Amino acid sequence: GYHNTFSRWLEEYDQGMYAEYRMVLFKEMGWGSNRRQYEHPTVEPKEDRPPEPVENSLEEPPAKSRQLTIPTISELPEGHFAREYVAGRCLPAWTYDYLHYSNDFKKHFSGFSSFTDETNINLPSDPRLIIPFYDEWGQLTAVQGRALGDSKLRYITLKKEESSSKVFGLDRVNKTKPVLVVEGPIDSMCLPNCIATADSDLTSAPIGDVFIFDAQYRNAQICEKIDRAIKKGKRVCLFPKGFPYK
């Protein structure tokens, strides 16, 4: 396989992005004309292990007690716009009983969090797809509301407690199999044995074997996080140039 540092990969992938990335490093590290040449540590590749199919990755999660009183997608009538949105995203059948719908996000979740910060004040009163986050014991720890109409805040994530986990998929992941890590919960439901961090810092996940960053290689912060993951010895998936989806 291909093994190299992130910097060298980016230099080969796109010279323009590489120049921008080097400028960001120059500013952050305070390099000057008398600096010594910065050496990128080389991460030794891990021993390759044969791919192992995950048998239960896209199956329905273990049954749990219902912890949200708003309707699930399966309880909405055929033709409902929230149900049509889920169908349009080609999500697995089990997600229709797993995901919920709120016709007024502020009404249903203004008191969800036990603490106050900038995230859970002044919530919009708009219809949203509700993505519940459960821990490995099936207890609700957070919710994410995905706007189903025009909104300045497409995603809003609320934690139940300040110390609650904001990692999606812990209730259905199989730790004995390779675990994939992505940013978006919706994306994770379409991948085998996958969890999501609900933000771009994928290495914040408590578990993970392969980290799949969104293909935003012109974003200096994303490039920095990819570089950090590689230096930690993590296995990272990088999409080829021109990849049309993520």
DSSP string, 47-92: PP------TTTTSPPPP------SPBGGGSPTT-HHHHHHHHTT--
Sheet of 128-134: strand order equals 100-102, 128-134, 140-147, 155-159
For 100, the enclosing helix (H) or strand (E) is strand 100-102
pLDDT of residue 246: 62
Nearest to 99 by CA among 55, 143, 150, 52: 143
What does the alpha-carbon distance between residue 137 and residue 198 come to, in Å, rounded to a whole number?
20
What does the alpha-carbon distance between residue 124 and residue 163 come to, in Å, rounded to a whole number?
24
pLDDT of residue 30: 54
pLDDT of residue 208: 93
pLDDT in tens, the chain (246 residues): 556 666 776 677 666 666 666 766 666 555 444 444 434 444 444 454 444 433 444 556 776 778 999 999 999 999 999 999 999 999 999 999 999 999 999 999 998 988 877 777 789 999 999 999 999 999 999 999 999 998 889 999 999 999 998 999 999 999 999 999 999 999 999 999 999 999 988 988 999 999 999 888 778 888 889 998 899 888 998 888 777 766
Neighbours of 108 (CB within 10 A): 21
pTM: 0.73
Reduced to 3 states (helix: H, G, I; strand: E, B; else coil), residue 239 is coil
pLDDT of residue 34: 46
Neighbours of 76 (CB within 10 A): 17
Reduced to 3 states (helix: H, G, I; strand: E, B; else coil), residue 221 is helix
* E strands in 109-218: 128-134, 140-147, 155-159, 180-182, 194-196, 210-212
pLDDT of residue 16: 67
Nearest to 25 by CA among 43, 17, 13: 17
* 195 neighbors 205 (Cβ within 8 angstroms): yes
pLDDT of residue 85: 96
Residue 64 vs residues 41, 53, 61, 229: alpha-carbon distances, Å: 46, 26, 9, 34
* 156 neighbors 105 (Cβ within 8 angstroms): yes
What does the alpha-carbon distance between residue 72 and residue 58 come to, in Å, rounded to a whole number?
18
* Angle (deg, nearest 10), helices 6-13 and 220-231: 140
pLDDT of residue 232: 87
* 61 neighbors 193 (Cβ within 8 angstroms): no
pLDDT of residue 115: 84
